[in-house]
Amino acid sequence: MFRKTHFKDEGRSVVHEIKKEFSGTFSKAETRAVNLLNSYPIGIFISMVVVIIVSSIVSFVFNPFESGPEQPGSFFYEDVKDVKNEVSGEVSTLLNFSDRISRMSLLRSEIERIIQQQQITAEDSVFLENAIQELEYFNNQNKLIYED
């Protein structure tokens, strides 16, 4: 699309080319500025002092920043607060899902381990009942979430 042009001359640069192109204009402006400064030095000095005094008076007397109406700022804060609550709600939901998934995988691995045993003890039987109830609860919760 664009090609880089290579210069053989190391001394050439953009600044050098701009100076060469506009040297006449720069020199004319420089001579005019020097002539103006040499013609009216006292007037320029007095005007500079007056501008400094006026700007200092204006900066201390007048309040440069007028306070805006309070209402739009509170609207913005409420909007940001709602977004923050929504984002934190989404993050907590994701963390809750990850906890559920890890719990379900743990339960399934324990259930598979118990089922593969030759004999099941009473503790294993109680654990299986509770684990199956918990898995059914997780599955019912997932159905409710997907219905929304």
Do 90 and 131 fall into the same domain? yes
What average pLDDT score do residues 125-136 get? 86
What average pLDDT score do residues 85-112 get? 81
Rounded to a whole number, what is the distance in angstroms from the first to the last CA of the chain? 51
Helices (H), 40-69: 41-61
pLDDT of residue 76: 55
- Tell me the residue range of the domain where 81 lies: 70-147
Do 26 and 51 fall into the same domain? yes
Do 80 and 121 fall into the same domain? yes
| pLDDT reading at 105 higher than 60 | yes
> Taking all residues of the chain, what is their mean pLDDT, rounded to a whole number?
79
Do 78 and 133 fall into the same domain? yes
CA distance 70 to 74: 7
- The CA R_g of the chain, rounded to the nearest whole Å, is 40
Whether residue 5 lies inside any domain: the answer is: no
Do 52 and 111 fall into the same domain? no
Q: 116 to each of 28, 111, 120, 136, how far by Cα in Å?
A: 98, 9, 9, 21
Whether residue 92 lies inside any domain: the answer is: yes
Residue 52 CB neighbours (<10 A): 10
pLDDT of residue 1: 55
Do 56 and 90 fall into the same domain? no
CA distance 102 to 22: 72
Q: What is the pTM for the complete model shown?
A: 0.38
Residue 98 · residue 138 · CB < 8 Å: no
